[in-house]
Every structure is written in structure tokens, then in C-alpha cells.
Homo-oligomer: A and B are copies of this chain.
């Protein structure tokens, strides 16, 4: 690399002092920048930073009782607050970053303080507003998960407690109900007794009971409350961090300039500069300051290189994006279909095997292996999709950094979301619905019958899938990707620098702080962290009707996640350039979208995946005595074994020890002796109508309730809005006083003989 003294002079016309240092690490140069007071002042002016006024209004908090309750709460939660005394010597902190780092290491980036609030103010001071907002958001999310987890556990326990009083599962488990079921596969399988499904029926009740309906309404409202709570917290942080007047400015992307470079030597200088500024770790100037630097440089470097891309330039990239996205999504679908085929074929193979041990564990084996395969594929594809999304976004050459980030996030979100949720959606809504009926099964890829659900519905399997995905994804991604891979990368980087360990150690001693920090991993942005959390939020809200323990799992994960991320930020990554941000940006919209989709998904899960509606309909219209007795019989249709298609009837028809004339299967169809045998029965249509009506009612009621909660809770906390109002009044007062002062002096000059009697009376009036 070479650089001309010209550029330095040029820069120094903006910044008063520049120190170029050559470090001991070969190939790396450090540039120390000192921004003089007037530059800082101008920056502060641009960022609309406020200075504290001398007079401060104390906002009184209601009556005595409220105050007492506040004090009590404060006392009780005192041990939960980190031991960081931010209020007093904050001027000290802001000038000694290493003290802050030490404090953060002790009071934040440690598993031993997992039960404490995070020192958000300190985080923001050291890492900037953007990182501060991420951790504040994560904190709010984790905090809000606590009530959700508690209610979820209660709902689960309710399911456990009522499992013995559940009439449908009692009926299934009752050996007196001698029901012969139709075979589960062609030829290899034979008839079976419903009693053998007793275990899964009892287990299903844990997740398929009326409490889950309540819980999914609760979670829909919880999501709205969470969003509202976050909006208020964000507003409060905005006020405390003095961001209320800050408007986000879109800076022209550096990427853009890099793309269109013309002369290689020229661009080398630019890249050198950019490198120096982007990874400057010593002063950690605010992003705005860095942007001024970078823009000054890039402007200088590429004054006549800027080419405006026209529509026709952009079209191929957009086309590529659309095509690639469709392709990727269909790859995901293909993979899921592959896993389904695996499941079907393995099941058929196991059925045909002659080992009775293998046959008895068929279901469990197939379910678990398939779920694990799914999980592994999801994790692998996640990484591939992230890379593809980045490549596609680079192809598009977005105009600004912000637009680049938004497009990248959007693409990654769609791909990862489809990847994570396709198997779950299949399980919830398609499995067992495309089966056909005995004698007229639906076959795929030759002679494989589509999968059926267990007698008590697919909810149990959905639950297992969700459980494995959530636990596995979190464990593997946390442990392997967030701890393991950075360590390996660090190791590789150290290898690369081709030094012996001893030499290195010696060098390490002589190296200065910023040189040591250079060996840490670079900060790659908050997007992967957010993405992980959003997918988790999706798991928690979208299918919560089928898995009430999801919030608990998420809570446990997040408690670790916060400290893990904290450790990573404090010890393993270079200090990022402090970036200002008013909100969490596109993530908020994604969260909002998810919580909207969650309502309709939950409505469908309750009405179509679970047996809630059929039970209700049976109880209130068909049941002779108003209870669920006879429900199991009502759900089973009759099949005349003579109607089997040739070659599909079981090879061992006498497996149960007696000749079977009629077998039963779970569906609402006409019996063989009706005028239209095996057609959907009137009950089928009535229950379908009830299910659909439930979806409409549920969706609209929950949406109405959500909107109501949204409207009820003001976005700005009352004390903050009061404070802002008072500040405005203070300003007005100041204006008035100043004006009066001017007038007074003017009058005194003109008519010094007339003394004013009430100089202050009317400034109070406004």
C-alpha cells in the first residue's frame, strides 16, 4: 500500500491532528485521529445533542400510595439491578473506556449475574446506541417471556392433571371398546386394535385441551403487549439517550463507490483509508464522524467515478434475485418432501422387517430420526441461505448502507423463515389430510401411501418436531456456531500470522492494546443475533397452540443467550464503531408481521390440527347426554374389507386372531351401507363449517382485542411525555425571559427614569 502526503494534508484540513503510526504487526498501519473541539461541537449540532438546562423539573409521581409502592418495588428488585452506579460519575466513565469495559465484564458478561437487569446505559456508552438497543430489546423480550413461560407451564400442568378425566382418551384406552382399525400400510400391515393407541391418545391430551385455546389467545395478546412494552421502553431510552431530535440520515453507501472503481492505484489508497477508519479501535468515534471521514475520502478518491445505475442496469440483478429466491424456496420444499419420503419408505421397510423389536419401536424411531434429519438440514441450509442472500444483495448494488442492510435482512428472513417453518407447517396442516381413504389411498412416487396421523391427530408429532427444532437449533447454534466457530476462526487467524507461540507471546507483551485487539474477530453486525431471536419469536408465537412449553424453552435459551452475546461482544470481538439508531428498524416490522400471522396460524392449528372443534360439536349437537361419551365411536368411519383394491389388502388378515369384516378409520365418511358409500358425511361438512367459523371468530376477536390493547396503551410513557412537555415550557420561559430582558435594557436605555414594577408577573402565565 502506498499513500500520498497530499491526502493526509487534505484530511488534516478537517481534523486538526493526525498521527500515522506503523505498528509492529507487518502490513497494518494505525491512524490516530484527534478531533478538535469545534469539530465535535459541529457534530453535536448536527446530531441535535442537547445540553442539560440548569433548571430541572421534578415530575411528581401521583399520590403517596403510588410513591410507596414504587419505593417498595425498588427495594425488592434492588438485588436485580447491576452494581453499576451510572448516575454520579458518568463523566468519568465516558472518558476511560477500559474502566467501562472492566465494569461490563464483571456486571454484564458473566453467567453469575444472569438474574440481574443489564447495565444498558453502560453498554450504550461503550458500544453505541445500536448495540445498546439490541440488548435492551433482548432484555425486554426475555423479561416478557417470564409470564408467558409461567402461563405455558400452568397450561401444560393443567393438561397433565386432567389427562385421567379426559373421556376420549379413556374410551380409547378402555379394552371393552373392541374397535378393529384398518391397516396402516398396504399388505405388510394388518388390522390393529384401537386400544394400542392408548399411550399416544393420553399424551396428545397434554397439548390438545381447552386450555391451549385460552393460551393461544393469551399469547396473541402477549405479543401485542410485548410490542407495546418495547415501544415504550424504546421511547424512554430515546429520551434518556437524547435521541428524540435525531433523524436518521441515509448515507450514500461506500460499497457503491468500491464497485465502480476505475484506477486500481487510486482505489488502493481509498481501501487503505477505509480499512484504517473502519477498524479503528482505539477511539471508537461515532459512526457519524467516521462517515464524515469516509465520505471525505471516497469523495476525493472517486470524484468522477460515480456512475448512476439505470433501471436496465439493475434489472438483471433483480431478476436473478427473484429467480434465486424462488429456487431456494423450492429447494427447501424439495428437502422437506425428501424427508417425508424417507419417513414413508423407512416405515414401510421397518414394517416389512421380521424383527418384532424393530416393529414395536417403528413409530418412535422414524419420528425421531426424521426430526433430527430435518434439524440438521435446517441448520446447514441456514448457513447456505445467509451466504446466498448476501451475494444476491451485493448483486443488486443498493444505493445506501441502510438499504443494503434492509434488503439483506428481508431476503435472509424469508429464506430462513421458510427453511425453519416448512416442516412444521407441513406437519400442522397437510400431514394426514392428503391420505385418501381405505380402498382409495393416495399414492406418491409409485406405491408409497401418504403418511397418516396417529388416531388423536398430528398435534403430538407437531409438538415433538417443534421441541426438537427449538432445543436442537438453539443448542447447536449457540454452542457450535456462536462459541465454537469463533474460537476456530481465532485459531486459524493466529496460524495465518505464521509465528511461533513463543515469539508471539513475546510480541504480545510488547504490543499495545489496539494492536492486540486487532487479532480479535471483526464485528459483523447485529443481524445474525436479531435473526435468531426473530425465528425464535416465530416458534414461540406461531405454533404456541400446539406447544405451550415453547415460551419456557425460549426463556431458558435467552437467559444464556444474553450473557453469551455479552461475553462475545466484550472479549471476542473488536469494539464496533458506535452507531446511532433511534429504533430497531426493520426488525420491529418483522415482529409485527409475525404477531399478525400468528393469530391466523393459531386459529388454524386450534380448529384444524387439534380435535377441539369436533369435540365441541359432538358435545353440543350429536351427543345424546351432553358429554363426550361416544365421541371416539363418532369419529370413526366404517370400511368394508371387501372394498380393498386388489393387492392392497393385508397379507395376514388373521393377525388379530379373528376374521375381520368391517374395519374402522378416522374420518367423517358415509358407511358402506349408505346410498353414497365412503362419501363425506353430513357430519364432515357440519364440522368443517364449525372449524371455519371458529377461524373467522378467533381471528377477528383476537385482532380486535389486539387493536384495543394497542390503542389502550400509550406509546410514550406518561412520565416521559410529561417531562418533554415541561422541557418545552422551560424553553418557552427562557425565550420570554430573554425577550423581556432585551426589552428592559432597551427601555432603560430609552427611558431610564421609569422603573418597571412587575417584571416577572406574566412570564408565569404562559
Which A residues are within 8 Å of any B CB, using their own CB? 10, 13-14, 38, 42, 45-46, 249-250, 292, 295-296, 299-300, 600, 681-682, 685-686, 688-689, 692-693, 695-696, 699-700, 725, 728, 732, 735-736, 739, 742-743, 758, 761-762, 764-766
Contact = CB atoms under 8 A, between A and B. Distances in A.
Given A38-B743, A295-B765, A762-B10, A735 B45 contact: yes
Contact of A739 (B42, B600, B739): B42
Given A296-B766, A685-B682, A685-B685, A249 B696 contact: no
A296 B765 contact: yes
Nearest to A693: B692
A269 to B, nearest CB: 15
Contacts of A736: 42
A735 B42 CA distance: 8
Contacts of A45: 735
A765 B249 contact: no
Contact of A46 (B38, B295, B682, B732): B732
Contacts of A292: 766
Given A249-B728, A250-B725, A689-B692, 7 more contacts: A46-B735, A296-B765, A300-B765, A600-B700, A682-B682, A685-B688, A696-B696
11 contacts: A10-B761, A14-B762, A38-B742, A292-B766, A295-B765, A299-B764, A682-B682, A682-B685, A685-B685, A685-B686, A689-B692
B685 A739 contact: no
Contacts of A728: 249
A692 B688 CA distance: 9
Contacts of A693: 692
Contacts of A764: 299
Contacts of A758: 13
A738 to B, nearest CB: 9
A525 to B, nearest CB: 24
Contacts of A296: 762, 765-766
Identify the 10 closest CB pairs spanning chains A and B, nearest first. A685-B685, A692-B692, A688-B689, A689-B689, A299-B765, A682-B682, A685-B686, A296-B765, A692-B693, A685-B689
Contact of A696 (B682, B695, B765): B695
A758 B725 CA distance: 47
Q: Which of A295, A300, A693, A765 has the most CB of B within 10 A?
A: A765
Nearest to A762: B13
A36 to B, nearest CB: 10
Contacts of A739: 38, 42
Contacts of A600: 700
Contacts of A300: 765
A741 B42 CA distance: 14
A274 to B, nearest CB: 15
Nearest to A247: B728
A736 B696 CA distance: 60
Contacts of A13: 758, 761-762
Contacts of A38: 739, 742-743
A232 to B, nearest CB: 19
Nearest to A688: B689
Contacts of A46: 732, 735
A316 to B, nearest CB: 20
A296 B765 CA distance: 5
A215 to B, nearest CB: 22
Most central of A300, A696, A764 by chain B CB within 10 Å: A696
Contacts of A688: 685, 689
A762 to B, nearest CB: 6
A673 to B, nearest CB: 13
A594 to B, nearest CB: 13
Nearest to A759: B13
Nearest to A292: B766
A682 B735 CA distance: 78
A735 B43 CA distance: 10
Nearest to A758: B13
B692 A696 contact: yes
A89 to B, nearest CB: 32
A601 to B, nearest CB: 11
Nearest to A728: B249
B689 A766 contact: no
Contacts of A696: 692, 695-696, 699
B295 A766 contact: yes
Contacts of A686: 685
A728 B688 CA distance: 59
Nearest to A298: B765
A647 B467 CA distance: 66
Which of A682, A762, A764 lies at the interface centre, i.e. has the most chain B CB atoms within 10 A of its CB? A682
A723 to B, nearest CB: 15
Contacts of A695: 692, 696
A14 B758 CA distance: 13
Contacts of A743: 38
Contacts of A681: 682
A300 B725 CA distance: 22
Contacts of A761: 10, 13
